Chains A and B, each alone.
Chain A
Amino acid sequence: MITELGHFALILAFLVACVQAVVPMVGAARRWPGWMAVAEPAASLQFLLTAFSFAALTWAFITSDFSLRLVVLNSHSAKPLLYKISGTWGNHEGSMLLWVLILTLFGACAAWFGGNLPPGLRARVLSVQASVAVAFFAFILFTSNPFLRVEMPPFDGQDLNPLLQDPGLAFHPPFLYLGYVGLSMAFSFAVAALIEGRVDAAWARWVRPWTLAAWVFLTIGIALGSWWAYYELGWGGFWFWDPVENASFMPWLLAAALLHSAIVVEKREALKSWTILLAILAFGFSLIGTFIVRSGVLTSVHAFANDPERGVFILLILAFFVGGALTLFSVRAQVMEARGVFGVVSRESALVLNNVLLAVACFVVFVGTIWPLLAEMFFDRKLSVGPPFFNLAFSPFMVVLGAILPVGAMLPWKRGRIARAFRPLRAAFVLALALAALAWAMQTGKSTLGPIGLFLGAWVVFGAATDLWMRTGRKGNRFGRLIRLPRADWGKAVAHSGLGITIFAVAGLTAWEQEDIRVTQLGEAFDVGAYTLVLEQVEKARGPNYLSEIGHVTASRNGRVVARLRPEKRVYPVAQMPTTEAGIDYRVFRDLYVVIGDRQGDGGWIVRTYIKPFANWIWAGSILMALGGLLSLSDRRFRVAAGARRVPGGVPAE
């Protein structure tokens, strides 16, 4: 019964979205207040209906309603509650329902918190948002309906793929989707502005928080996935340049570019048409990501051919929205006259450079991701594009970005001098250089990667600190002023530091990781780096649904025990699957990562040991980036955006 209500609510939401897509748009064009006012209650209603529908599906999973096809295929009555709930989105149909739920949530938020938007713009934004929803409701209802019943309900389900039953992963998709779909707001604002033919500082002030929020969620989602890979895969890899990863990374790069260019629009009323284009492209890449993931076209061309209906549908959605928006853009872009004027050396120019680097980096990832497909279609070559390509082609952009970031962030608006912006940064530069030289001298081997990464990371972090300190003026109580600086300043410094830390950690981990693979006898000591490890014993244990062999490994340094690790090797008899659980000793400067393998004929065991320096810093940096975004989001100026439109020339640039 609840299932039918959920199904019904979904259809109703579809109809509401249809109304919301048309009526407010017409109202805004004809200036009929009554028609425009339809948007808000419709957006709320659409969200409530979709939320009910999603809740109904979740309920079916929680109660293990095996009359539902989706539940049969993806759940099991004995599954823990957390994974019954996360099982709701652990499949194609359910995850698409989550997609529209978040889409309608953002629409509803725009309706609830958009009280100070001009009514025409708000009506158009909500209308565009609803038209995206219409397409995805149709997609779900016509190709991927989660509410289909089975004729003969089975006694139990086929269980969710055990790989998905992991707490870190239960929350990975919702965050990722909040980010992906959050970019739809930027898209709706961009299209609405194109229709209105007006982009000003107030518009940028409206778009920026949505983009920032989407970017923060995307950052968290990507970091969660990467962290899971690190602790779960048994060798500590954290990024693979897989098409599905790239699908989330491309919108992240463009969202980062967008939230920087929106600052220029907000403060200086320049870069308007580029910002609009970026907003369209950022959401476009979200849709491309959805297409890549949903159609499976890059996983295998055959997966696409087997089930082309969904892929083609998403391709049509993509073509319609991105194509339509770009057409609109080409017709209307020249209306957006730039007002701000600035010198060649200025904050504006630095942000243009930031955008060029981020956008081209995204383009490189995009080309690398789809190249195998293009090569097969047009050149009849079956080839692979893997991590070596991306590391080589992508990294230089990040190096240049890190190198120019501190100077660019210190340049004044309108007109500046590089020498003058660099002067306060001399200490940061020298310190970073000294650290890199120290690392170069201390490391074994002649890798340049580690010292370069350390220099860039330290340069960005110290540069951010210098920037913050310089904002406190020249004399008086500088510490007091430091604390009272606007949250946006703090957000900028924290997010940039996070980037610096992540850059350093990735380089440091890659350059200085130590690995040891060996067969060891019980009780025999062996050295890895500065540590002495002993596999004391291997005990057999029985879990609820698996058999396990647990190694007892003691790691000591200079005769002192520093960690006792419990790497495990499990076998799930029902699934006939072996699994490996790494034993990890997390420390600030390094992780000690031990994996136990098979027993050998002579009674020894395979043991893999990794010393992973600065591994935690990768995710600490990501968390700092997200935190910086949140700080910036809580800045006062986003809460008082109401009067902004009255100032025609934008806010004074500092």
Chain B
Amino acid sequence: MRGGEFLQKIRIGNLQRFRAVFLAGKRVVALAVLLGAAAAAQAVEPDEILPDPALEARARDISKDLRCLVCRNESIDESNAQLAKDLRVLVRERLTAGDSDAEVMEYVVDRYGEYVLLRPTASGANLLLWAAGPLMLVLAGGIGIAFVRRRSRATSREADGLSEAESTRLAEILDE
């Protein structure tokens, strides 16, 4: 079901931005259109690719964890924006210069702040973020286990599956 020729689609190249536009009202529309207009190029371009495949693969992995700062929730690896292109080139320059992955990350974060990291560091308050899932799992799992064990103990107590009232009523019926 591709759109017909009559479709007018702006190629912003960005689902997030579209959703924002669509759902958050026209103030954002104006913003997105502005951003989109600036974005003519497309993601990784052939002239950026490093000759060494191993180095290029590392560059791609790093790029996926770095945020395009003028975009919404898009990595520089996916983004069309000029700034993302600059960052991709920067990452490759650092790698070519012999930096390790961690050093490249540090270099970028020093210049752009931790906002640029799509995978937040596990430091300080962020520990809460990373621990939230496991902690909640332990808590919910504990409650779940306690509940299940309570129900199974009830099984042994009411072996016939009847409540006290039901047992009384059964006795009455049997007496009649």
Check A240 against B16 for contact (C-beta < 8 Å): yes
Q: Cβ of A371 and Cβ of B36 under 8 Å apart?
A: no
Contact with B along A72-90 (1 / 0, CB 8 A): 0110000010000000001
Taking residues whose C-beta sits less than 8 angstroms from the other chain, chain B's interface range is 35 or more
Shortest B114–chain A CB gap in Å is 5
Task: Write the nearest CB–CB distance from B43 to chain A, whole angstroms.
Answer: 6
B residues 114-139 in Cβ contact with A at 8 Å? 114-120, 124-126, 129-130, 132-133, 136-137
Mark each residue of chain B from 98 to 119: 1 if its CB lies under 8 Å from any CB of chain A, else 0. 0000000000000001111111
B21 partner residues in chain A, CB cutoff 8 A: 161, 163-164
CB of B44 to closest CB in A, whole Å: 6
Chain A residue nearest to B153 (CB atoms) is A341
Q: Is the CB of A299 within 8 A of B28?
A: yes
Say which residue of A95, A234, A241, A519 sits within 8 Å of B42 (CB atoms): A234
Report how far A225 CA is from B23 CA in the complex, Å: 13
- Say yes or no: B19 contacts A242, CB within 8 Å: yes
Interface residues of A in 332-382 (CB under 8 A from B): 338-344, 348-349, 352-353, 355-356, 359-360, 363-364, 367-368, 371, 375, 378-379, 381-382
Q: Is the CB of B10 within 8 A of A234?
A: no
What size tier do the contact residues of chain A reach? 35 or more
Asked whether A384 is an interface residue with its Cβ less than 8 Å from the other chain, the reply is yes
Contacts of B161 in A (CB 8 A): 341
Interface residues of B in 1-38 (CB under 8 A from A): 1-3, 5-16, 18-29, 32-33, 36-37
Q: Is the CB of A577 closer than 8 A to any CB of chain B?
A: yes
Q: Is B73 an interface residue when CB atoms closer than 8 A count as contact?
A: yes
Q: Known: A382-B114, A382-B115, A595-B42. Contact between A343 and B3, CB under 8 A?
A: no
Are B120 and A353 in contact (CB-based, < 8 A)?
A: no
Q: What residues on B are CB-neighbors of A152 within 8 Å?
A: none
CA distance A546 to B3 in the complex (A): 14
B96 at the interface (CB under 8 A from A): no
Task: Using A80-B6, A306-B27 as known contacts, say yes or no to A163 and B18 having CB atoms under 8 A apart.
Answer: yes
Identify which of B7, B64, B72 gathers the most chain A CB atoms within 10 Å of its CB: B7
1/0 per residue A577-601: CB within 8 Å of B? 1111100000000000001011000
- Taking a contact as CB atoms under 8 Å apart, the answer to whether B73 and A242 are in contact is yes
Interface residue from A95, A342, A355, A572 paired with B10 (Cβ < 8 Å): A572
Asked if B151 contacts A338 (CB within 8 A), the reply is yes
Q: Contact string, A34-64, partner B, CB cutoff 8 A, digits 1/0?
A: 0000000000000000000000000000000
B37–A576 CB distance below 8 A:
yes
Q: Are A90 and B27 in contact (CB under 8 A)?
A: no
Residues in B neighbouring A368, C-beta threshold 8 A = 129
Report whether over half of chain A's contact residues are helix, strand or loop; otherwise say mixed: mixed
| A360–B133 CB distance below 8 A | yes
The answer to whether B3 touches A166 (Cβ under 8 A) is yes
Residues of B near A163 (CB, < 8 A) are: 9-10, 12, 18, 21-22
Taking a contact as CB atoms under 8 Å apart, the answer to whether A384 and B118 are in contact is yes
CB-CB under 8 A for A580 and B45, given A340-B151, A375-B125, A381-B114: no
Across-interface contacts of A316 in B (CB, < 8 A): none
Residue among A163, A245, A577 facing the most chain B CB atoms (10 A cut-off): A163
Is A92 on the interface with B (CB-CB < 8 A)?
A: yes
Which among A234, A299, A375 is the interface contact of B126 at CB below 8 angstroms?
A375
Q: Is the CB of B129 within 8 A of A367?
A: yes
| Interface assignment of A407: CB less than 8 Å from any CB of chain B | no
Q: Give the distance to chain B from A76, nearest Cβ to Cβ, in Å.
A: 9
Chain A residues with CB under 8 Å of B78's CB are 235, 237
Verify B5–A165 contact, CB threshold 8 A.
no
Does A296 sit at the interface, judged by CB under 8 A?
A: yes
B86 close to A (CB within 8 Å): no
B170 contacts the other chain (CB 8 A): no
> In the complex the two chains form, what is the Cα distance from A74 to B13 in whole Å?
21
Complex: A606 Cα to B43 Cα, angstroms: 12
Asked whether A385 and B120 contact (CB < 8 A) given A234-B42, A371-B129, A572-B8, the answer is: yes
Of chain B, the residue at the smallest CB distance from A596 is B42
Q: How far is the CA of A378 from the CA of B64 in the complex (A)?
A: 28
Pair A384/B18 contact, Cβ less than 8 Å: no
- Name the residue on A nearest B139 (C-beta): A360
Which chain B residues lie closer than 8 Å to A342 at the CB level?
148, 151-152, 155
Instruction: Check if B141 sits within 8 Å of A356, measured CB to CB.
Output: yes
For B43, list chain A residues within 8 Å (CB): 234-235, 608
B149 in contact (CB, < 8 A): yes
Instruction: Flag whether A640 is at the interface (Cβ < 8 A).
Output: no
- Chain B residues, Cβ within 8 Å of A270: 151
Known: A344-B148, A393-B133, A544-B5. A577 touches B16 (CB 8 A): no
Q: A382 → chain B, closest Cβ, in Å?
A: 5
Which single member of A234, A382, A386, A546 contacts B118 (CB below 8 Å)? A386
> Is B70 in contact with chain A by the CB < 8 A criterion?
no
**Interface status of A564 (Cβ within 8 A of chain B):** no
CB pair B73–A379 under 8 Å, yes or no, is no
List B contacts of A367 (CB < 8 A).
Answer: 129, 132-133
Neighbouring A residues of B27 by C-beta, 8 Å = 296, 303, 306-307
Interface string of A635-653 (1 = CB under 8 A from B): 0000000000000000000
Tell me if A384 and B24 are in contact (CB < 8 A): no
In the complex, chain A residues whose CB is within 8 Å of the CB of B47: 519
B151→A165 contact, CB < 8 A: no
A156 contacts B by Cβ under 8 Å = no
Q: Which residues of chain A have C-beta atoms less than 8 A from B140's C-beta?
A: 356, 359-360
7 cross-chain pairs, A with B, having the tightest CB-CB distances, nearest first: A386-B118, A579-B11, A388-B119, A162-B8, A364-B133, A296-B24, A577-B10
* B residues at A contact (CB < 8 Å): 1-3, 5-16, 18-29, 32-33, 36-37, 40-47, 49, 64-65, 67, 72-75, 78, 113-120, 124-126, 129-130, 132-133, 136-137, 140-141, 144, 147-149, 151-152, 154-155, 158, 161, 163
With A233-B14, A341-B161, A575-B8 known, 19 other A-B pairs at CB within 8 A are A91-B25, A92-B24, A161-B21, A163-B18, A165-B8, A294-B23, A296-B28, A303-B27, A341-B155, A352-B147, A356-B137, A367-B129, A379-B125, A387-B118, A389-B119, A393-B133, A595-B42, A606-B45, A608-B42
List 6 contacting pairs A-B, 8 Å CB cutoff, sorted by A.
Answer: A240-B73, A303-B27, A356-B140, A360-B137, A543-B5, A579-B10
